[in-house]
Structure 1
């Protein structure tokens, strides 16, 4: 698919997608005969990981580290040159698990912030309900 469709599916701007390309976080899987980049569903999945990490405050370097770990785990095939040693696999799984735990902690922090904001908005609504119009 072309970048416009990818942008619509991921809700990312064309500029953001190009920045992620420039930083090496995502590489289009193919090119059209005219030289335009083409993306696969796997590329879209990768962009969705990036999109989901950003509001949680992960840096581009952290995003790159997680994507690399996920890539290496994805190509781990027993009996092939891509097979990881048990130690490598364990380290990669631990790295991904660490990101999952960090994401879970950040979600909890965001829920607390949301609760405070909702409480504040409720207090403003209550105040408006008890005052006379100007």
Structure 2
């Protein structure tokens, strides 16, 4: 069990990523991010690399990426990090990465607009509520 020191249990992963246990288990079940090991008791054990992959997914989720797109991006990043990947594989991965970046930028801009509208709305409500609160 001494080798387990470099592994994190699912609760620790949830704490570090801000993802629920249910979400982390779901990502394992669909093959998105599977734990690198299992304890002798069958508990999921994650490495720092696994946590990094989950953080990538957490960042993609609010931008509207599908599970399939998340899986594809993780594979793309793996190809770019793989020193043994061929030139054509790296070129394809780089093109895919640019497409993901463009989609992320478009989604982020949409979210910024929605957030601006939400801020305007809360300001409107605050302006209407404040006079009533101070006059009561």
Q: TM-score, normalised by structure 1?
A: 0.87
State the Cα RMSD in Å.
Answer: 1.6
Aligned to 1:126, the other structure's residue is in SS state helix
Per-residue deviation, 1:74? 1.3
Partner of 2:99 in structure 1? 98
Unpaired runs of at least 5, structure 1? none
Corresponding residue to 1:2 among 9, 17, 38: 9
Partner of 2:69 in structure 1? 62
Per-residue deviation, 1:130? 4.4
Unpaired runs of at least 5, structure 2? 1-7
The alignment of Structure 1 onto Structure 2 pairs a total of residues equal to 128
Q: For 1:37-56, list aligned pairs within 5 A.
A: 37-56=44-63
Is it true that 1:107 corresponds to 2:91 in the alignment?
no
1:85-118 Cα shifts (integer Å, max 9, x gaps) = x222111011011111111111111111111111
Q: TM-score, normalised by structure 2?
A: 0.86
CA 1:21 to 1:123, structure 2 compared with 1: closer, same or farther past 3 Å?
same
| Higher normalized helix content (fraction of residues) | 2
Aligned to 1:38, the other structure's residue is in SS state strand
Per-residue deviation, 1:58? 0.6
